[in-house]
Amino acid sequence: MSQIEIRQPFLDPTLSEQLAQLSAPRRALFLDRDGVINVNHGYVHSPKQTDWVDGIFEFVARAHEKGFLPVVVTNQAGIGRGYYSELDFIKYTRWVHKVFTERNAPLAATFWCPHHPTAGEGRYRVECDCRKPQPGMLRQAMSRWNINAETSVLIGDKQSDIEAAHAAGIYNAALFTSSDDISRLDILSNL
Ligand SMILES: [Mg+2]
Ligand SMILES: [Zn+2]
pLDDT, one tens digit for every residue, the chain (191 residues): 456 778 899 999 999 999 999 999 999 999 999 999 999 999 999 999 999 999 999 999 999 999 999 999 999 999 999 999 999 999 999 999 999 999 999 999 999 999 999 999 999 999 999 999 999 999 999 999 999 999 999 999 999 999 999 999 999 999 998 778 999 998 988 67
Exposed, middle or buried by CB within 10 Å (0-12, 13-18, 19+), for 10?
buried
Query: Choosing from 32, 51, 88, 186, which is the catalytic residue?
Result: 32
- What was the pLDDT predicted at 2? 58
- Which ligand is closest to the CA of 127, given by its number? 2
What domains does the chain contain, in order, with CATH numbers?
Answer: 44-184 (3.40.50.1000)
Annotated catalytic residue 88: no
Structural contact between residues 126 and 80, judged by C-beta atoms closer than 8 angstroms: no
| CA proximity to 173, closest of 147, 159, 188, 153 | 153
Handedness of CA 103, 105, 109, 113 (dihedral sign): negative
- What was the pLDDT predicted at 1? 46
Q: How far is the CA of 24 from the centre of ligand 1 (A)?
A: 29
- Which ligand is closest to the CA of 53, given by its number? 1
Q: How far is the CA of 76 from the centre of ligand 2 (A)?
A: 8
Annotated catalytic residue 129: no
Q: How far is the CA of 131 from the centre of ligand 1 (A)?
A: 12
- Which ligand is closest to the CA of 154, given by its number? 1
Query: Choosing from 12, 34, 157, 161, which is the catalytic residue?
Result: 34
- What was the pLDDT predicted at 44? 97
3 state DSSP class of 29? strand
Q: How far is the CA of 26 from the centre of ligand 2 (A)?
A: 25
